[in-house]
């Protein structure tokens, strides 16, 4: 199992910075997108961000229907396997709906492209994307998100839903692990 004690973490985005940015993203979505959205949360990493975002969207006057999809491209280590797998599907029909896909971080781009193409194939009226973090330096697939919280460099970040081997998701901030 994991080593005793917690590794030290340097804060990249504080809880306050994240909270402010989430309100801004929601206001931007309310301005640029429809007032009725079918929000599809990509599990697992984005559940914390999505929980805050849907409440901010409600405050901003957006009526969100929320569903979840589980996609996996990572094993327990921090390197991408390159393959995206649909582990659990949404339970509702997306046909004719204004879909907003919500993910934690846009890294190689494979996950978001997989999710977006799936919803387009299924006949969604529009498919927009929102990510808390964008790591453009690591992109393999040509895709950009419509709404981005913060841009990060080529570093592995944890916290606020983001994990390393399912650890650190509960941090209220986003940070980087110090080398042990
Ligand atoms: P992509 O398919 O390579 O864009 O990977 C997206 C997924 O990889 C995200 O939803 C995360 O779950 C995971 N991921 C990518 N970079 C990081 C990171 O820095 N920290 C934690 N998870 C990451
Ligand atoms: Mg993820």
What's the rounded Cα separation, in Å, for the pair 136 and 12?
A: 17
Nearest CA to ligand 1 atom 9: 105
> Which are the contacts of 113, defined by CB distance < 8 A and separation ≥ 6?
141, 143
Q: How far is the CA of 103 from the centre of ligand 1 (A)?
A: 9
Res 76: pLDDT:
44
What's the rounded Cα separation, in Å, for the pair 120 and 125?
A: 8
- DSSP assignment string, 45-96: TTHHHHHHHHHHHHHTT-EEEEEEEEEEEE-SSSSEEEEEEEEE--SS--TT
User: How many residues in the chain?
Assistant: 180
Q: Is 149 helix (H, G, I), strand (E, B) or coil?
A: strand
- Annotated active-site residue in 107, 117, 121, 134: 107
Q: How far is the CA of 45 from the centre of ligand 1 (A)?
A: 8
Res 1: pLDDT:
47
Instruction: Give the angle 174-155-21 at the CA atoms, nearest 5°.
Output: 35
Per-residue pLDDT tens listing for the chain (180 residues) = 445 567 899 999 999 999 999 999 999 999 999 899 999 999 999 999 999 999 999 999 999 999 999 998 754 455 556 789 999 999 999 999 999 999 999 999 999 999 999 999 999 999 999 999 999 999 999 999 999 999 999 999 999 999 999 999 999 999 999 987
Question: Is 134 noted as a catalytic residue in this protein?
Answer: no
């Amino acid at each position: 199992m994991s080593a005793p004690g917690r590794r030290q973490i340097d804060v990249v985005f504080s809880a306050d910075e994240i909270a402010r940015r989430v309100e801004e993203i929601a206001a931007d979505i309310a301005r640029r997108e429809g007032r009725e959205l079918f929000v599809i949360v990509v599990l697992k990493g984005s559940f914390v961000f999505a929980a805050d975002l849907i409440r901010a969207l409600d405050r901003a006057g957006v009526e969100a229907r929320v569903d979840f999809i589980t996609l996996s491209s990572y094993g327990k280590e921090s390197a991408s396997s390159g393959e995206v797998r649909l582990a659990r599907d949404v339970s509702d029909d997306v046909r004719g709906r204004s879909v907003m896909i919500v993910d934690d971080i846009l890294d190689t781009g494979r996950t978001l492209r997989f999710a977006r193409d799936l919803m387009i194939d299924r006949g969604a009226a529009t498919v927009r994307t929102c990510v808390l973090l964008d790591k453009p330096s690591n992109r393999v697939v040509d895709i950009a998100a419509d709404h981005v919280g913060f841009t990060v460099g080529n570093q592995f970040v944890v916290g606020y839903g983001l994990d390393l081997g399912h650890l650190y998701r509960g941090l209220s901030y986003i940070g980087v692990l110090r080398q042990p």
